[in-house]
Structure 1
Amino acid sequence: MNESAHVGDFSLLLPVYAGDDASYLRLAFESSVTAQTLRPAEVVIVQDGPVNDALVAELARIESESLVPVRVVRLTENGGLTRALNAGLAECDYPVVARMDADDVSVPQRFARQWALIEEGFDLVGTGMVEFDNDPAQLGAVRVPPVGSERIRNHARSHNPFNHPTIMYRVEALDRVGRYEPFGKMEDYWLGIRMISSGARVENISEPLVKYRVGSGAFARRGGWTEARTEWKLQGAMLKLGFITRAQYLRNVVLKGAYRLMPAWAKKIVFREVVGKGLPGERKSGV
């Protein structure tokens, strides 16, 4: 427990579903509340459909023992991440919301670092991530996001510029673009595009302030025809919005479609070498 922690005027939004592990949820919650140097003022957990007994018990423990107020929004059916996040946002009482997944780990200074930029006037602040398999002490590849508004916009024309599990944002800025919209597994990318296009002030912290759990099937889930079709649909939406040119659209359709159809081992190499290392000149540092 961090006895010297302060509390910020923001909510923590954490979705949970049947595929999550109770022990992972406990670590995610404790790292994002108990261990933070700046704690959220409240936590909104969205239970996306029925969950197993272990998760039910862990949610009850969290509600009864948390150092900050916790509200669990229980959805009767699993409706997917977009629905869960919008349902959670509707229950958040604070104008700023931080995202967290139920199987990741936050570094103790995460929220303090992000909140400082929110107080400067930014509407969305993401951070870098560092991967781990099972033990958060055994760290792997670092995913470095682009830093600075111009680099973020340029990066967004071909890749998602934000690590979604790391972001903190102003709800007012989300309201201007309609919050989350269903877009396959790319609802976060589409949200970022719309926020950038709306004129929102966005920034990233290059340091990995979230430890990201990478399961054995993580890269396999990125591929296949369903993901390729979603990718092509997203590129069409970006073109219609005027965010990319026709030439950029054609390039992305070919290259990103090919990426989605690669075998998992090849996608893993391409992602880490091309996407995860950040843009030239950006700093890559450890936790």
Structure 2
Amino acid sequence: MPELSVLLPARNAAGTITRAVASTLAAMPRDAELVVGNDSSSDSTVGEAIRGASRGGVVDPRLRIEDITPGEGGVSRVLTQLMERTDSRLVGRMDADDVSLKGRFKRTMRAIERGDDMVFTQMIELRGSRPVPRMPYEITPEDMGWHLLLTNPVCHPTMLAIREIMDRVGGYRSVPAEDYDLWMRVASAGGRIRRIAPWGLLYRIHPGQVTGNASWRSDSWKNPEQARAFADLSVSLTGQELPRLVSLVSLPRDEAERELDRFVQVYTQGVASRPAPSRRALERRLNARAAWVRSHLQGEQS
């Protein structure tokens, strides 16, 4: 078995997958495989993936293409099948419309070797042809859980993880935000999750993204399994069950404001012992998220 399997779900991605495959193979170590999960594509996705892996008429043997069994569950279904069809010690992720940057796997594997269980890089958003770099700062395992209580601070296709920690918590589940749901369960189980500062990915922003859909966001905010994962994480960090901040916007205003005040108080007490730079960063993020909730509550009233 290879040391690393990079999982790349793809459906009708002929326009972008060539570069995604080529850039990922260029960034990968030799003892690795790139496994494309072809989810019933009706275009030339498979051919373009092979073209991205070809040099001088020779196809890189590290590319493997798996036809995915149709069904419900979206990307979580594809990822679950790819996990079942691979046996590497490490699991990486890539999306069919993004671009891997050189050095991403070398850096994340180094962090794994030093004791982390799940590692992400920072990313550069690609808005049309305009690159928009995200701030290159690290989030340590000691701070990651606190960040996860506020939002999802990492980019799924930059992930590198030890398979054992993913299997231990049940892997991907069929929920709207399958990535955030997994991170919360890993953090609750004591897994060490880190985001390193360097950029490792060009992340393409486009109108058709699922995560930009209002219906998807609503389903994610109200999903009971994700709410349970969030509550478990909050208990592990604070000793109290807290609601997801995004879920408060669907409550009556008085109840939402009470829950928001409780969240802010418990969270602020919880991060008080963190080193000053971390504490200040977390408090700034908390204030921004609380302001977002209040603006939505005011909008509902008006």
TM over 0.5: yes
Label 1:245 to 1:112 Cα distance change in 2 as closer, same or farther (>3 A).
Answer: same
- Structure 2 residue ranges without an equivalent (≥5): 252-277, 283-302
CA drift at 1:178 = 0.7
> Does the 8 Å CA contact 2:232/2:241 hold for their aligned counterparts?
no
Work out the CA distance in 2 between the residues paired with 1:125 and 1:33: 19
The residue number in structure 2 matching 1:267 is none
Q: In angstroms, what is the RMSD of aligned CA positions?
A: 3.0
- Higher RCO by CA contacts (8 Å cutoff, separation 6 or greater): 1
TM-score (norm 2): 0.72
> Does the 8 Å CA contact 2:18/2:51 hold for their aligned counterparts?
no
Label 1:279 to 1:16 Cα distance change in 2 as closer, same or farther (>3 A).
Answer: farther
> Does the 8 Å CA contact 1:146/1:279 hold for their aligned counterparts?
no
The residue number in structure 1 matching 2:118 is 124
TM-score (norm 1): 0.75
Letter of the 1:86 counterpart: T
> Does the 8 Å CA contact 1:132/1:211 hold for their aligned counterparts?
yes
Instruction: Tell me which structure has the larger Cα radius of gyration.
Output: 2
Give 1:133's match in structure 2, choosing from 127, 138, 141.
Answer: 127
CA drift at 1:222 = 3.9
> Does the 8 Å CA contact 1:126/1:204 hold for their aligned counterparts?
yes
| 1:203 partnered with 2:194 | yes
More helix by proportion, 1 or 2? 2
CA drift at 1:255 = 5.0
Letter of the 1:93 counterpart: D
Give a deviation string over 1:76-98, Cα, whole Å, max 9, x none: 42541101001111222311011
Aligned residues: 248
Give 1:28's match in structure 2, choosing from 3, 20, 24.
Answer: 20
| 1:52 partnered with 2:45 | no
> Does the 8 Å CA contact 1:12/1:40 hold for their aligned counterparts?
no
Label 1:143 to 1:91 Cα distance change in 2 as closer, same or farther (>3 A).
Answer: farther
Give 1:93's match in structure 2, choosing from 83, 87, 95.
Answer: 87
Q: Secondary structure at the match of 2:132?
A: strand
- Structure 1 residue ranges without an equivalent (≥5): 1-7, 258-277, 283-287
After the TM superposition, which of the residue ranges 94-103 and 154-163 deviates more from structure 2?
A: 154-163
What does residue range 84-233 of structure 1 map to in structure 2 within 5 Å?
84-135=78-129, 138-142=130-134, 147-184=139-176, 186-218=177-209, 221-224=212-215, 226-232=216-222, 233=224
| 1:74 partnered with 2:67 | yes
Q: Secondary structure at the match of 1:188?
A: helix
Give a deviation string over 1:215-274, Cα, whole Å, max 9, x none: 0344873423x52242133234422563577673164422599xxxxxxxxxxxxxxxxx
Work out the CA distance in 2 between the residues paired with 1:85 and 1:59: 18
> Does the 8 Å CA contact 2:184/2:229 hold for their aligned counterparts?
no
Work out the CA distance in 1 between the residues paired with 2:115 and 2:128: 37
CA drift at 1:152 = 0.7
Label 1:99 to 1:109 Cα distance change in 2 as closer, same or farther (>3 A).
Answer: same
CA drift at 1:162 = 2.3
